[in-house]
Structure 1
Amino acid sequence: MHGPIAALCLAWALALGCARPLTHEKPGAVGVGPHHVAEPPSNDTGLSELCGDGDGDGGGLDAVTLSANGTMLLFRGGEVWERSRRGLQRRPLAAFWPELGGPVQAALCIHRRKDPQEHDSLYLFQGEQVWAYAGGQLRAGFPQRVGDVFPGIPGGLDAAVECHPEECRGESILFFKGDTVYSFDLELRVAKQRSWLALQPCTAALRWLERYYCLHGTSFQRFNPVTGEVPPGYPRDIRDYFIPCPGRGHGYTGPGNKSQEAAGDRCSERPFDAFASDDAGRIYAFRGGQYFRLDSQRDGWHAWPLGHAWPELQGEVDAAFAWDKKMYLIQGSQVSIYLSDQGYKRVEGYPRALHDELGITSVDAAFTCPDSEKLYVISGNSIRLVDLKETPRRAEVAVLLPHAHVDGALCTANGVFLFHGPNYHQYQSVAELTGASQPAPPRNISVDFFQCPQ
């Protein structure tokens, strides 16, 4: 594999293994690299069914969870769809879980290394019973009554989702039935009831890229898994986010909005505004008021509005970088700082003037390297160093680069990447970049970072 994302993608996929993959990737297919596998077309009949209108519970999904390769499984009726970079593939449930004998009401993956029995198990719920699968095989003793496996949890569930300790103050599962939410502590094996008035009844629930979603029919809400709070702007339509429906998307306003379409199309080769990697290894690409998540193969093709990750943030990002568990997002002459732990929360008092915060007045691109307090700021054809531990901060003397201009920059364990137009240039280190007399050979962003056809 080639590029900064490959190892991260593979690690993410392995860490999220909960079920047997419905499709089998060829070697080298996971992650970013020149040997990508092109996406075949989706099953048009199945896609049209998922994208159709439905009244109330007549549309939408029965359950949603993740497969062993980190892609999304969507359950509806007697069938399951796998949404991956290969497209949307439709299969009968009986082909993979013949013991079920009918539709599922809820689906759940548990990732818990301290308990080998539960670890990487897929739980499928039907009425009063639950089936547990490990490595694609039905676990011994299943099916069982829901209440026997999860004491205090009733049968006839509507939805379920694992709640990770870094977001939920402990290892737990959220079960949904009607208007009631049950929080089940995996360590203590006890359940507590919750009543979250802001949350609509959930017919499916999902944790996706550290955020939690409640689906109902064709709409969904994002919610706080501890308090049940729902941020402004919800509900939204699942067909604009979770299902690749033709002619739809969160930024789609019709075929006349060509600029917005190009910004949200990973393969459009429209220049990106900025790139950034935070302390947790999340990698982002910014373009046209939207962002792509690149460290996970599950979301490498889908654009989201900035406010989805960084509340209150709107407009285009000119440069971005991370340091000391904070994300710095630069827009014009101002910078906003967000805390990276447990989701992004803007630091009080921001945005502030760029000059007051970093000692610089303009920037085309910026980057920090892993475990370093040194910020590199690029303007035009020059690069300057800012020591982030200094107070006040100031930029050192500029050094000329072998590039007349760059749109964005990124530094990972694999080196320094400069982005310009549809291409990027890779250097093994900052020293190699500043010592170069000619640009490194160009490579295509959409092919290597987004697995688009050449």
Structure 2
Amino acid sequence: MVAAAAAKVPASPASPELGLLIMKLLAHILCLALALTISLSQGHEHEHEHGNGHEHEHEHEHASAAPDRCQGIEMDAVAVNEKGVPYFFKGDHLFKGFHGHAELSNESFSELDDHHHLGHVDAAFRMHNEENPSDHDHMFFFLDHMVFRYYKHKLEIGYPKNISEVFPGIPDHLDAAVECPNPECDHDSVIFFKGDEIYHYNIKTKAVDEKEFKSMPNCTSALRFMDHYYCFHGHMFSKFDPKTGEVHGRYPKEARDYFMRCSKFSEESEHVERERCSRVHLDAITSDDAGNMYAFRGHHFLHEDGANDTLTADTIENAFKELHSEVDAVFSYENHLYMIKDEHMFLYKVGEPHTHLDGYPKPVKEELGIEGPIDAAFVCEDHHIAHIIQGQTISEVDLKASPRVAHKEHSMHLFEKVDTAMCNAEGVTVIVGNHFYRFNSTELLVTETTLPEQHRVSMELFGCDH
């Protein structure tokens, strides 16, 4: 290339200026040629070290993009872990709980990726059998003709095994599976689904009883959650009787409305029913001086009118537009709502509509004398002390003091972490996941060593029928 360029240069320049210009041009061409030669040489070396690049391209082709649960996808399998947290499987990814991004399944269950000839997880369940500790709290995953058994995310010795070896009489390539303890089923059982074929497997005797669930659609995954049974089909679900397969009530319903936290819902979604019956944990809850309750979850909130006990649902964006969505904690004091989001506090005067006070948001540190993040906060009736929960620590802030300072820290032993809490005439209500617990006072919340009676948020706090 250099020689070709040189051949076009005139032999006798017409002037010294032209000769100088040509010499500069030649030098520039030589530099470009040298850079191209080095680049080609490095490219050959890289190709020699790493192959021709096709292996990497091939690997990239097989790495599936992370799914988005809010797009209305069909899950391959659903099961709860030993702490009751639902795991939703899709392809080679896994969703833990009701919100958050997908992660690769092999990050939690690495052995599932060791058998490349097997497909995705077809079915999964957690064994609920307290009488047999060797099986209790074990998680089972079914892939094609194999079954994997895990305990605390560790694969049990000898697994994977053929399904027929562990569950004789149960076919391969299942669609769904769910545990069914006695008396919810006639015996401690596992229900297996394959197309329209239903198998009740007796854990103790290993007998298989084939059933016919006429009123229920074919399940692509199934889940036992809070003593209820759910059949997922596509991105819809139906609640069913595990003994008969009967579906009662208005089903199917949209899974995203009840088992996932999504900013937008289907057009058919009934907002009040969805917020009352959603299994997604609450972000914040409070009760104001008039007995009105506000419960916040994601982009929406429920409001219960203290005068007539009616429930309404709205978006946070509409009623508290400065917040936009998702709050960390809320408490009520002197007809104002103190709303904490990240490191800032927003202050609203209760009314129709709620009025956002000028000068807010302000830093939480400035308003409460405490660093965030904050898990929950509440003020009891006729008091001026805000109780701030962070992890297992409860601090007190005197709201009449100036400046406000957090003091009197106490350790809370009954809960590792709470989602939210409120205080009203019924006492202190602490909410963890789908359950809540009542204490007659803050002192008992700190000093009690045994949990009080467990209640269900959806049914007993919001009056949901399931």
TM-score, normalised to structure 2, is 0.47
Q: Taking CA–CA contacts closer than 8 Å with sequence separation of 6 or more, which of the two structures ends up with the larger relative contact order?
A: 1
Higher helix share: 2
Q: Which has the larger radius of gyration?
A: 2
